[in-house]
Structure 1
Amino acid sequence: MKKSIHHLYVHILLIMVCGFFLIPILYTLSVSLKSSNTLISSNFKLIPDNPTFDNYKDILFEKPFLLWLKNSLLLTIGTVIATMVVALPAAYAYTRLKFKGKSGSLFLLLLLNAFPAILSMVAIYRLFKTFSLMNNYVGLIIVYTGTMVIFSIWNLKGYFETIPADIEQAAMVDGANNFTIILKIILPLARPTIIVTGMVIFITSWNEYIYAVNFLSDVNKYTLAAGLYSIQGTNYTRNWPVFAAGSMLTSLPTLLIFFGIQRYLVSGLTVGGVKY
């Protein structure tokens, strides 16, 4: 009986915490349905008076939102692929191979990951100018990949260490080479952490704002983050309801991905995380 009451209190507390964190989302939804260009009012209502979907029509048909969506998908998917191509073999090598400087290089990567990426902005700008990477998705994919690859290596490595090496040794006895072992054994067994790592890379790249705004100046190459920023360009042209509508639409792909892979979240993050 006491255990049941304890669980009830815990669930009530968790519901309250979830409700608290939903407040900004509900507020944004409310602003996106407003017919007037106001962000804050004294008589706030979750469902505003005279709600309208005109703001969603404006962002979809009056602004190049669909073009920005395509650009974001191209940039984000490219980043996920590039990061996983680098991180998967690196994580496997750190897990199974023995080589000089293994531990030192791992902790060096962790140390590099502790520094804010914004500190390298000037250096990256000079490199982009030198190699003509301004307004180029290749440059951003390289930056995003460098930002996310350290997390990806550590998370994948932690999960790979939970896979018994005996499975690989048995496959070698049967004549399998390293490529076959990775492709047919390791990757299927590590599917939860691969999916979750890919999701984290996707969400981080999808929401990235600083580099996209500074290194993309062509409106036709804007991502969603840069495009929404351009809507709020000056104090005289800001339209908060349209901006809120764009924000709600921008969040939909990540929500769909999250709900689609939620069954992998616990095993994909916790199993890899505890091996740090």
Structure 2
Amino acid sequence: MMNKKTKKRIGLILLNIFFLTICFLALIPILYAFTLSVSGEGGAISSSMLPTSFTLKNYAAVLNEKPFLVWFKNSMVLSVGTMIVAMSFAVVAAYAFSRFQFRGKRAVLLLLLLLNAFPQILSMFAIFRLFKTLNLLNSQGGLILIYAGSMCIFSIWNMKGYFDTIPIEIEEASKIDGASNGQLLTKIILPLARPAIIVTSVMVLIFVWNEYLFATTFLLNDNSYTLAGGLYQLQANDYTRSWPMFTAAAIMVSIPILIIFFAIQKYMVSGLTAGGVKG
């Protein structure tokens, strides 16, 4: 009979095989898209899983024949701008909700959570009328305000949970040493909360990078499209649709997010768990 150590080892091997199988199945659509992007002209359904020929002309066509770099710049402006605006307010608000007691605090938090629960499309018509009145249609600034307002709620809740895990004794000791509230926040709290700030910022950036509905509704011409809107334009016309070109563009859109994800991977676990000094 097998001893406990052997059974445990076999169980771990089977578990690893199971997870590797799940990962492989999840990668099949991505591998298929990459195969299609490096193949020649052809349809998405008729193409095989393995490329019959290898070519980068689809990637070159996206860069040379389509305003891909313009779409990329627009996405960068919206994503980074939203991240800066949303996190600037969210960090301060989350710290206030975490550390200060004031009347209506719980009610405000629940109200923010309730507002975030409604689908965005419900506010589409009202926002469109407001933008038209304020002459903000086809404006990146107006869209940043909308994105920042919606993502600020998520960021506040996410950051508040992390600030709650930082021992208040650290702040009390800093105040005894003569630190002001500003110094306490910038030199003590923010460095301790760096993992959560980085992870939350990237989640905001990814949301805006992939957002499609508002971007295609309020940005009205080809030169103002984001990458999400640009991808739709690549396959919107049945007569000019090219699936190899579309998959090449989709992979190019995904590469910056993958780079960012791998760059912050070490913060992912610590950014979602308790930080600071443990008592």
TM-score with structure 2 length normalisation? Answer: 0.93
The residue type paired with residue 143 of structure 2 is L
The residue type paired with residue 39 of structure 2 is K
Please, what is the CA RMSD of the aligned residues? Answer: 1.3
Q: Is the Cα–Cα contact under 8 Å of residues 41 and 242 in structure 2 kept in the other structure?
A: no
The residue type paired with residue 224 of structure 1 is L
Determine whether 1:108 maps to 2:111.
Answer: yes
Moved more, 15-24 or 239-248: 15-24
Q: Is the Cα–Cα contact under 8 Å of residues 166 and 274 in structure 2 kept in the other structure?
A: no
User: Shift in Å at residue 270 of structure 1?
Assistant: 4.0
What is the match of residue 24 of structure 2?
19
User: Shift in Å at residue 205 of structure 1?
Assistant: 0.5
What is the match of residue 31 of structure 1?
36
CA distance in 2 between counterparts of 1:49 and 1:72 reads: 34
Residues 188-224 of structure 1 show CA distances to partners (whole Å, capped at 9, x for unaligned) of 0001000100110011110001111111112111111
* Match 1:44 to one of 48, 70, 83: 48
The count of residues paired between Structure 1 and Structure 2 equals: 270
Q: Is the Cα–Cα contact under 8 Å of residues 199 and 271 in structure 2 kept in the other structure?
A: yes
SS at 2:127 equivalent: helix
What is the match of residue 151 of structure 2?
148
CA distance in 1 between counterparts of 2:21 and 2:72 reads: 34
The residue type paired with residue 142 of structure 2 is G
What is the match of residue 242 of structure 1?
245
The residue type paired with residue 22 of structure 2 is V
Deviating runs (4+, > 4 A) in structure 1? none
Determine whether 1:221 maps to 2:227.
Answer: no
CA distance in 2 between counterparts of 1:179 and 1:7 reads: 50
CA distance in 1 between counterparts of 2:40 and 2:125 reads: 42
SS at 1:48 equivalent: coil
Unaligned runs of 5+ in 1: none
User: Shift in Å at residue 48 of structure 1?
Assistant: 1.3
User: Shift in Å at residue 37 of structure 1?
Assistant: 3.0
CA distance in 2 between counterparts of 1:242 and 1:65 reads: 12
Unaligned runs of 5+ in 2: none
What is the match of residue 14 of structure 2?
9
The residue type paired with residue 16 of structure 1 is T
CA separation of 1:271/1:155 partners in 2, compared to 1, >3 Å: closer, same or farther?
Answer: farther
Task: Work out the percentage of aligned pairs sharing the same amino acid.
Answer: 53
CA distance in 1 between counterparts of 2:200 and 2:72 reads: 22
The residue type paired with residue 85 of structure 1 is S
Determine whether 1:137 maps to 2:140.
Answer: yes
What is the match of residue 70 of structure 1?
73
What is the match of residue 182 of structure 1?
185
